[in-house]
Amino acid sequence: MSTERKILLLGSGFVAGPAVEYILRRPENHLTIACRRVAAVEALTKQFSRAKSESLDVTNEAALDEIISRHDLVISLIPYTYHPLVIKSAIKFGKNVVTTSYVSPAMKEFHDAAVEKDLIIMNEIGLDPDIFDVESKNSIHRFFFFDLNFSNSTMSTERKILLLGSGFVAGPAVEYILRRPENHLTIACRRVAAVEALTKQFSRAKSESLDVTNEAALDEIISRHDLVISLIPYTYHPLVIKSAIKFGKNVVTTSYVSPAMKEFHDAAVEKDLIIMNEIGLDPAGGKIISFISYCGGLPAPECSNNPLGYKFSWSSRGVLLALRNSAKFYKDGKIVEIPGTELMSSAKPYLIYPAFAFLSYPNRDSTPFKEFYNIPEAQNIVRGTLRYQGFTDFVKVLVKIGLLDDSNQNYLQFNSPEISWRDIIAKVLSTSNHTEEGLREAIKSTITENEISEGEIERILKGFKWLGLFSDKPVRRCGTLLDTLCATLEGKMQYEEGERDMVILQHKFEIELKDGTRETWTSTLLEYGKPPGPSAMATTVGTPCGIAAQLILDGVIKKRGVLAPYIPEINNPIIAELEKEGIKVREEKL
């Protein structure tokens, strides 16, 4: 495109960098970064000739309206509580919006207005389990056995076969088809690189790039072949069948016959064609009976050198507040609820790779994802958080003694007398013994017998000392215990120069096949930061955000309304672009 595109990015957090870099690869894109403190983004905007900054208070409706009216698309990286203000203004001026936040009830209320104005309000773009397509697991293909004899006799006439798709099913199908010397195969998929290793193994196989939603391109490639094998998601089969009937070509799929496919029956009979479906062992992959998804943004192991095994790459307040959330999920078909006060006690070891000692705990409400992911048979659905071992017990003690309390305390106000952590701990524990030994004993008394091992308690107390919580030096008073603790943690637990972070995400699917047997598959992402470049967290949140913005600008995403990436129409193009950026998952059968 040569037409100039004006993009507005609201916010100045660490995520902004990768998003800006991705967006400004396109010469037609011009970017304005708007935030309360322009100085926070000056270093970033100076790196790009087509980026500038402006000061903005998003709670000022007139100022927000004015700046949004001047741009073509809005990317909102500000706290989610302000998104409704942004969406309201964007709809007023007919502008699309991208956010990295969950769809809150307040945001959902704008859905009808967005649809009415033919707008996209794209949310939940970034590091999130949902971005990696769950629905594709509903159509996992296992073993692919079929005979493509065109007659009972061996044929010497060259046959041109088109195979659509690049999944793991393709390999066995290709090998079988090319046993016959008259068969020549074209594998067509959106990302040719995905099948290059396969086509190089066979002299009569080649690859072509194809977007099956491009009717003209699909017609052209089908017209050049004698038979079509469709291994793409079943929702696209009607497009393939329609084109194949137009040009008199037979079709083979591994999917069940959907109502949309069944509608082509009479036309196929009239043209004396075969549209063969449900070929293979359990072509639809059975049903998902368990979906477990855990994600962690952590220091790389060599940088996890503090008592919590954690460092802050974003708001410490947000991290700590999340530790008080209640959780809700499905287990064995029943809803389980865990109050926030018991969240850390619910943590359990979780094995992904033996080199990592992870603990997992559920994150907020996972129950709506049965509907979002269209997995009604699932008996277990949990989305949760990963931390290194030792984190949850440490936090449990912080909670027990009240340090995550966010209510105002008179003695922590800015104009109150100076106070040390030693005196604060004594105050919250109601003890008159302000010595380190006295405070240690008071903390131990809050822990129930056998709740935490003696060795672990000693490690935690040493951690308190490392943080300065037994110190007699004056603290930076921030109004509440939570915010005062945040100030201390941020001073001690930031990433040092040259240290790298790590993002790990794993989906685990248990699938029940039609014969009653079960299979377990995992889909795992492991990403490290690249000092002095962007962190893994910034890359996995900011890059998808930039991609989503560009796809909207290019008209790739057709759906309208307040959206989240739960469907292939949205996921697939984002995943394809992420893989080009080197962000990809590894799938394994356990």
- pLDDT tens digits for range 119-171: 999 887 665 433 333 333 333 222 222 222 232 333 346 888 898 886 545 66
Q: Which sequence spans correspond to the domains of the chain?
A: 5-130+534-589, 141-276, 287-389+496-528, 395-492
User: Shortest CA distance to 469 belongs to which of 442, 504, 501?
Assistant: 442
Give, for 331, the enclosing helix (H) or strand (E).
strand 327-331
From 128, 130, 282, 393, active-site residue: 282
- pLDDT band at residue 392 using 50, 70 and 90 as cut-offs: very high
Question: Does this chain's domain 141-276 share its CATH topology with 287-389+496-528?
Answer: no
pLDDT of res. 440: 94
Q: What was the pLDDT predicted at 147?
A: 28
Q: Chain-wide mean pLDDT for the chain?
A: 84
SS3 70: coil
- Distant-in-sequence contacts of 166-173, Cβ < 8 A, 24+ apart: 166/191, 166/194, 166/195, 167/141, 167/231, 168/141, 168/587, 169/141, 169/144, 169/231, 169/254, 169/280, 170/195, 170/198, 170/231, 171/198, 172/143, 172/144, 173/144, 173/146, 173/229, 173/231
For residue 561, what pLDDT is reported?
72
pLDDT at 508: 94
Tell me the pLDDT tens digit for each residue of 173-198. 677 678 778 889 899 988 888 778 78
Architecture of the 5-130+534-589 domain? 3-Layer(aba) Sandwich (3.40)
Higher pLDDT, 138 or 542: 542
Note the pLDDT tens digit of each residue in 11-44. Answer: 876 667 788 888 898 889 999 999 888 887 888 8
pLDDT single digits (tens) 83-95: 999 999 999 999 9
CATH classification of 395-492, choosing from 3.20.20.80, 3.20.20.70, 1.10.760.10, 1.10.1870.10?
1.10.1870.10
Region 538-542 average pLDDT: 77
The edge-to-edge listing of strands for the beta sheet with 561-563 is 51-55, 29-35, 5-10, 73-76, 96-99, 120-122, 561-563
Taking the C-alpha atoms of 355, 359, 363 and 369 in order, what is their torsion angle to the nearest 10 degrees? 60
- 130 in active site: no
Which tokens sit at 366?
């996972």
The pLDDT of residue 143: 23
Which pLDDT band holds residue 548 (cuts at 50, 70, 90)?
A: confident
Decide if 164 contacts 228 (C-beta within 8 A): yes
pLDDT of residue 349: 96
pLDDT of residue 163: 86
Q: Which residue has the higher pLDDT, 569 or 282?
A: 569
Q: Which tokens hold the place of 327?
A: 């959780």
Task: Report d(CA 112, CA 182) in Å as an integer.
Answer: 55
CA of residue 210 relative to chain centroid, distance:
26
Q: Which residue has the tokens 């603290």?
A: 475
199 has pLDDT over 90: no
Categorize the per-residue pLDDT at 172 as very low, low, confident or very high, splitting at 50, 70 and 90: low
Q: What CATH architecture is 141-276?
A: 3-Layer(aba) Sandwich (3.40)
pLDDT exceeds 90 at position 308: yes
**pLDDT, greater one: 375 or 213:** 213
pTM of the model: 0.66
Amino acid identity of residue 160, one-letter, is: K
If you average pLDDT over residues 262-276, what whole number do you get?
82
pLDDT of residue 443: 94
Tokens describing residue 204: 């009569």
> Quick check: 581 pLDDT over 90?
no
Tell me the CATH number for domain 287-389+496-528.
Answer: 3.30.360.10
What is the chain's Cα-based Rg? 28
For residue 132, what pLDDT is reported? 37
At 391 the pLDDT is: 94
pLDDT at 284 over 60: no
pLDDT tens-place string over residues 456-514: 999 999 999 999 999 999 999 999 999 999 999 988 998 999 999 999 999 999 998 87
State the Cα–Cα distance between residues 38 and 47, nearest whole angstrom: 15
Among 229-243, 268-282, 290-304, which is the least confidently predicted range?
268-282
* 8: β partners: 32, 74
**Kind of pairing between the strands at 205-209 and 183-189:** parallel
Reported as a pLDDT band with limits 50, 70 and 90, residue 414 is: confident
Over residues 221-235, mean pLDDT: 86
Phi-psi region of 78 (alpha: psi -120 to 50; beta: other; left: phi over 0): beta
Under the banding of pLDDT at 50, 70 and 90, the label for residue 234 is confident
